[in-house]
Chains A and B, each alone.
Chain A
């Protein structure tokens, strides 16, 4: 089981959620995006962010397979084993 195999089986997107200690929602957004980009994902976006008190609850997303793109999970000689 390799990283690339696991990634190829992601149906559409990966969400990363966390709580940042920060000063503003904007700061939290930037940190969440850096986190995803730092992990090697492009095509990143912040889905939700809520800032209260000491920090923000953030959910950021990267699409691994967008509708219409080539799906790594479909590739295979048997015509696509989704299970």
Chain B
């Protein structure tokens, strides 16, 4: 039996909500009228002998006296042994509850179900957190069957050809990946055979212990601190309201401490997964470093030790992606990611070549090897069409994406399609988002779903280039874009922080919580509602589909998939795509 005491008639709405929640949970309640004196209240409590007395009141200077008198009288009347006294409402903190003599205090924002849980002696309800607690497999239930047979046929032929082509070739990265894997299996560092395949700066780092410019080794004290920091597990305190949509955020401040602190904050605020951002110079350097390395600028260095530290800092249900989608170390990165316990990686030959600065031939060899490694580690990876940001039309980017998805299927890997929700050059030139940010993005998802039965995970992050530095605007646009992904039935979504458009300094933790809060609020607003597209969406869908077919047909005519990339089939110079040079000439026949 719970006695509910509203001392102030204007503010007992909360108490009435709690009463309803208690009754639904099967408890007896008595709601007193407001304006009873403390002695009247305690006299009543003496008679009905409640297990709990819940008092609600907004606070002001005199109000404290009344509440204190109530607690005092309850004690003098001897009822406190069987009656717990709880106070709740505006400006209530545990310290205040303590000062007033109550057994517990609830602040504003405490939900009725939390109060019920407290009364029943249970920990606070977290059924939504239970859902999060088991890692979601984004690829579960997908067959990877090409629903569109003609496109599927083209894609698979190109994939077969690429597989054959790559099978005859190797590169330093492919070899390093093998060496790294063996070393990790045996628990040792890599040796001279590895270093022979690396750039000088990496060799120097291993041999002399001098890390590259702008990085330094963490001291053993710092390492210890980092591990302690990582061990604190907080759990997700905010309930998920974006039903089923797995929410990813990106991290990579350069400093492992900052990363772990940011990751924990993001996860506590509702992130389901985190994506590792490494420094851009990593893509241009042959060889990966070892050790606990911190980096002065954006991007956290990929080393076995750093990855392990991050892994230890992740709550067990948090999904972790380490990207290998560009640069000269893609297969080895996948190996490291696999050994470090990452759940996902990212591989995209076309983007890495056309927008990431890596030589197409090299990245094609490496990318296929990377996919094989991903398959070995049973690690799904997404294929992200970042080349759209250079100006490549979505259709062309999707064409190469589908080839890679087909290839992935053939090597036993599990790909995830990652179209961009962004205001790309194509969009700006074509005026595709002049009315809304919905139709074109929706068309992307629709066209892909019509072609292939595969998971779709819009990125990267969504709303890219629609954000300004204004935190409200950038948080809101992110929240809405994330909801759009939800409306379209996406399996996951990657969101930015509200600092996305600010380039004057590193991303702050507050900026991360901003967008997570916005996503939650927007998802709560829409609930299970659906969205209606305009006729433009269908027009865009047909446009993109035509581009896909054209690109695949063109690619078939080219001597090879790689040559098709060089020739601009999957993104031309006019589009803004430029085949990269890093690693040119490093591929050799086996």
Interface residues of A (CB under 8 A from B): 11-13, 15, 45, 47-48, 50, 57, 59, 61, 63, 65-68, 71, 74, 78-80, 82-83
**Interface range for B:** 20 to 34
B254 contacts A15, C-beta separation under 8 Å: no
State A63–B504 Cα separation when bound (angstroms): 11
Q: A-facing mask of B246-268, CB < 8 A → 1, else 0?
A: 00000001110110011011000
B295 contacts A68, C-beta separation under 8 Å: yes
B502 contacts A12, C-beta separation under 8 Å: no
A12 contacts B225, C-beta separation under 8 Å: no
**Contacting chain A: which of B199-207, B408-416, B506-514?**
B506-514
B510 contacts A15, C-beta separation under 8 Å: yes
For B508, list chain A residues within 8 Å (CB). 11-13, 15, 61
- Listed by A's residue number, 5 A-B pairs whose Cβ atoms lie within 8 Å are A13-B505, A61-B508, A74-B229, A79-B225, A80-B225
Nearest first, the 10 A-B pairs at minimum CB distance are A48-B469, A67-B255, A67-B253, A79-B228, A67-B258, A80-B225, A13-B508, A45-B504, A12-B508, A48-B470
Cβ distance A25 to chain B, nearest Cβ, rounded Å? 12
A74 contacts B225, C-beta separation under 8 Å: yes
For B262, list chain A residues within 8 Å (CB). 11
Asked if B588 is at the interface (CB within 8 A of a chain A CB), the reply is no
A50 contacts B470, C-beta separation under 8 Å: yes
Tell which of B229, B253, B502 touches A80, judged by Cβ atoms closer than 8 Å: B229
Interface contacts (Cβ under 8 Å), in number, total 71
Asked if B296 is at the interface (CB within 8 A of a chain A CB), the reply is yes
Interface residues of B (CB under 8 A from A): 224-225, 228-229, 232, 253-255, 257-258, 261-262, 264-265, 294-296, 468-471, 499, 502, 504-506, 508-510
B258 contacts A12, C-beta separation under 8 Å: yes
A63 contacts B505, C-beta separation under 8 Å: yes
Cβ distance B274 to chain A, nearest Cβ, rounded Å? 16
State A11–B229 Cα separation when bound (angstroms): 13
Cβ distance A39 to chain B, nearest Cβ, rounded Å? 18
A12 contacts B506, C-beta separation under 8 Å: yes
Cβ distance A27 to chain B, nearest Cβ, rounded Å? 18
Known A67-B255, A74-B257, A80-B225; judge A48-B468 contact (CB<8 A). yes
Interface centre among A57, A74, A78, A80 (most CB of B within 10 A): A80
State A40–B376 Cα separation when bound (angstroms): 55
State A15–B262 Cα separation when bound (angstroms): 17
State A48–B514 Cα separation when bound (angstroms): 15
A11 contacts B294, C-beta separation under 8 Å: no
Cβ distance B504 to chain A, nearest Cβ, rounded Å? 5
A47 contacts B504, C-beta separation under 8 Å: yes
B505 contacts A66, C-beta separation under 8 Å: yes
State A12–B265 Cα separation when bound (angstroms): 12
State A63–B502 Cα separation when bound (angstroms): 14
Tell which of A59, A63, A82 touches B232, judged by Cβ atoms closer than 8 Å: A82
Known A12-B509, A47-B502; judge A82-B296 contact (CB<8 A). no
Cβ distance B419 to chain A, nearest Cβ, rounded Å? 29
For A82, list chain B residues within 8 Å (CB). 229, 232, 261, 264
A66 contacts B469, C-beta separation under 8 Å: no
State A59–B499 Cα separation when bound (angstroms): 12
For A66, list chain B residues within 8 Å (CB). 505-506
For B255, list chain A residues within 8 Å (CB). 67-68
Tell which of A59, A67, A74, A83 touches B506, judged by Cβ atoms closer than 8 Å: A67
Residue in A closest to B231 when the chains form the complex, CB atoms: A79
A61 contacts B261, C-beta separation under 8 Å: no
Residue in B closest to A57 when the chains form the complex, CB atoms: B470
B509 contacts A11, C-beta separation under 8 Å: yes
Cβ distance A9 to chain B, nearest Cβ, rounded Å? 11
For B228, list chain A residues within 8 Å (CB). 78-80
Cβ distance B236 to chain A, nearest Cβ, rounded Å? 16
State A51–B564 Cα separation when bound (angstroms): 49
State A47–B93 Cα separation when bound (angstroms): 33
State A46–B151 Cα separation when bound (angstroms): 50
State A15–B469 Cα separation when bound (angstroms): 13
For B504, list chain A residues within 8 Å (CB). 45, 47, 61
Instruction: Give 12 new A-B contacts, CB below 8 A, not counting A47-B499, A48-B471, A82-B264.
Output: A11-B508, A13-B508, A45-B505, A47-B469, A48-B469, A48-B470, A50-B470, A59-B470, A67-B255, A68-B255, A68-B296, A82-B261
For A59, list chain B residues within 8 Å (CB). 469-471
State A10–B255 Cα separation when bound (angstroms): 16
State A68–B300 Cα separation when bound (angstroms): 11
Interface centre among B224, B253, B257, B510 (most CB of A within 10 A): B257
Residue in B closest to A65 when the chains form the complex, CB atoms: B258
Cβ distance B190 to chain A, nearest Cβ, rounded Å? 26
Tell which of B225, B254, B469, B471 touches A67, judged by Cβ atoms closer than 8 Å: B254
